Amino acid sequence: MTHDATAPVAKKVEKKLEIHGDARIDNYYWLNDREDPEVIDYLNQENTYLKETFDDRTKAFQNTLFEELKARIKKDDESVPYKYNGYWYITRFETGKDYPIYTRKKESLDAEEELIVDCNDLAKGHSYFRLTGLNISPNNEMAVFGIDTVSRRRYTLHIKNLKNGEIYEEKIGNTTGGSTWANDNETLFYTKKDTQTLRSDRIFKHKLGEDPENDQLIYFEEDDTYFTYVYKTKSKKFIVIGSSTTLANEYRILNADQPDGDFKLFTARQKNLEHDIYHHKDQFYVLTNKDGARNFKLMKTPDNQTSAENWVDVIPHRPDVLLRDIDIFKDYLVVSERQEGLNKIQIKHWNSGKQDYYIPFDSETYTAFTTVNVEFDTEILRYNYTSLTTPPTVIDFNMSDRTSEVKKVSEVPDGKFNPDNYESKRVWATARDGKKVAISMVYRKGMEQDGKNPLLLYAYGSYGSTVSPSFRRNYFSLIDRGFIFAIAHIRGSEYLGRDWYEDGKLFNKINTFTDFIDCSKFLIDQKYTSSEHHYAQGGSAGGLLMGAVVNMAPELYNGVFAAVPFVDVVTTMLDDSIPLTTFEYDEWGDPNNPDYYRYMLSYSPYDQIKKQKYPNILVTTGLHDSQVQYWEPAKWVAKLREMKTDNNILLLRTNMDTGHGGASGRFEALREDAQEFAFFLDLEGITE
C-alpha cells in the first residue's frame, strides 16, 4: 500500500542486467535520462505529491522554522581577517544578501577596503551560484576564481585585474575551479575535467592575455582510477601536480620561478602508498603510510632527492594515534592528531632543544582543527574550537608564550540560545562483534531517560570521513522541541584511527550498517528513546547507510531522511561513464570482480528492497547532481512504492535547479532545512 492513492506510480520498463552469470531485472532503469520528458514529468509528479500531501499541510510550520533558522544567522557577518603577502583578507555577508563578498585591506585593518569580488552581483540571474578557488597572484595585482551556475561542479575560471577592476574576456571552462599562479604573475596552472565522467584528468598552463584555446597541456592522468590537481607549496618555492586515488598518491614538482620548465616526478606511484607533501627550507616533509604505518607517520627528504628510498622518519608510526595533518611555519611544526576519537594539536619547535607540547582541551567531546595559516614567518597559530554546545570559536594561539586570544565566537543572534541550557556527552555502544562504537549527543538539560524522547541519529561512515561533534545551530530547532541529537561514530570513518576505516570498507562494508543499527538498539535499550520516537539521517554515502538500515532493521525507526543517497551501488559501480565510478573501486570494490559483485549486491539498498514494512521516509536529490546521479534516489523511491507493505509516508524532493549540495544561497538553503525538520517534527505530532 502507498500512503496516498495519488502517489505517483512510475511506469515499469523491464531492463535485464547480466554479469557473472547473474541476471537482475531493473524496471526503473529508464529513469536515468535527464533529457527524457517522461523522466522530468515523473520527477515533477513526485514534487507535486510532496507539495500536496506534506508542504501544503505544514506550510505555516515550515515558515515558522525557516524564520527561526534564519534568525540564528548573523545577517551582516564577517570572517576573522587573516594576513597574507602584505594584505588582510576578509569575507563578509551583508544584510539581505545570500552570497559572500571578498575584500582586502593593505597592511593595516584601518586601511581602505578593496573589493575583490562580490558574489551577489555575479549571482544575479542564476538560480544556482557558487564561487570557489579564489587565488591572488604573488604581486597582489590579479585574482582568479571559478564559477559554477549549474551545480555540476564544472567551473569556469575568470581572471580579474585588481588594479582597475576589469574581469578579462579570457574565460576557461570545464575546470575544477582550482588554479595556482607561478611566481612570474603571468602563468596560471589549472585542472580540466573529462566532460562525461567529470574526472579531473588534465593540467594546463595558461599565459595571461593569450587565448585559452591555445593553452598548453602539461599533464594528462591516463589511469582512470586517479584524478589530478595542481597547487603551490606554502613555501612558495614549488608548483605541485598531484594525482590521487583512494589508496595512493603521486606528485610532480616544478620550481615556481621557472614555469616553463619541466615537472619532475617526486616518487613513482606505488599501490597502497599514500603520502602528502609539505615543503620547508630545503626539505620536503612527507605524511605517509609507508612501511605499514597504518595510522601514518611523518618523514622527510631533501627537495633535490625526493624518491621514497631517501625518506627518513621524523615522527614514527604510533598504533594508537592517527596522524592527520601538519602545518609548517618558519620556527614551528604543528601536528594534528586524533587519539581515542578526540582531536589533538601538538606544537613542535624546529629547534630540538625546545620542549614539544599539546594545546590543552578538557571537554569530553569536541572538535579542534587548524584553519587559515597562510603566513610562514609567524608565531601565531590560528585554530577553530567547537563542540555540540559551543559555537565555532576562532582562536589565535601564540606558539612561543602559549597565550591564546579568542578572535571570534560565531554569534547565534536570535537571542534565545544559551549554552548553559544544554548538555553534551559521549557514550559507547557495543557492536555485535564486541567493538565499542562512540556516540556523541546533545540535548536540553533535564532530559529523562524514559524512552519517550524523540532522538535523531546521524552518521556518514565512508571514505574515512569523520563526522565531528561540532556545533550545528540548525538542529536546535529540534533540540529545543525535545529531541536528542546524536552522532554515531561508526566504522568506515577514522574516528578511532585508520583501522576503524579499513574495518568499514570493501569486504568489511557491512560493519558500517550493523554499527549504526547496534547504536540504535543501544539508545533504545538505554531508554534514550524508543523505536516509536527514533529517527535517522544521512546523506550521499550516508544515504547509502540509510538505505541499508531500512532494509535490514526497519522496525527500529519511525522516520528516516536520506539526502542525495547513493543507493544503486552495483549498477552505478558497473558504469564507468558515470562521474566518480572508476576511482571509487578502492572504497567499495570493483563489481567486475565476481566476489565484489556478490558482496556489494548483498547490501545495495535498491537491489535489496523487499516486501516488508518501511519507516516514514523523506528522500532528496538534485537534477544536476554530479556526485550521486538523481536517478538513484528516484529509482529507489519508485521501487519502494511498489514493494513496501505499509501505509507510511514516502516523499521524494527533486530540486530541478541544483546538484549535490542543494540550494546555493545561505538563506534559500534554509527552506530545505525547514522542510526536513518539519518532516521529523510532524511525525512526532509537534506542529509549532
Q: What amino acid positions are annotated as catalytic residues?
A: 540, 625, 660
Counted residue by residue, the chain has a size of: 688
- CA-wise closest residue to 245 among 269, 267, 264: 269
Q: What is the dihedral of CA 541, 543, 545, 547, to 10 degrees?
A: -140
**8 Å CB contact between 327 and 359:** no
Neighbours of 110 (CB within 10 A): 7
- CA-wise closest residue to 210 among 163, 155, 171: 171
Looking at the DSSP assignment, which residues form a beta bridge with residue 61? Answer: none
- CA-wise closest residue to 244 among 230, 234, 257: 230
> What Rg, from alpha-carbon coordinates, does the chain have?
25
Looking at the DSSP assignment, which residues form a beta bridge with residue 409? Answer: 393
Phi then psi dihedrals of residue 6, to 5 deg: -90, 0
Tracing cell 531517560 back to the chain, one arrives at 449
Measured distance CA(176)–CA(153) in Å, rounded:
7
Provide DSSP, 42-111.
HHHHHHHHHIIIIIHHHHHHHHHHHHHHHHTS-TT-BPPPEEETTEEEEEE--TT--S-EEEEEESSTTS
H-run or E-run covering 595: helix 594-603
Kindly list the strands in the beta sheet with 322-328, ordered across the sheet, starting from the edge strand earlier in the chain. 322-328, 332-339, 342-349, 357-358
Tracing cell 509516508 back to the chain, one arrives at 649
Phi then psi dihedrals of residue 344, to 5 deg: -135, 145
**8 Å CB contact between 568 and 541:** no
**8 Å CB contact between 640 and 554:** no
**8 Å CB contact between 534 and 486:** no
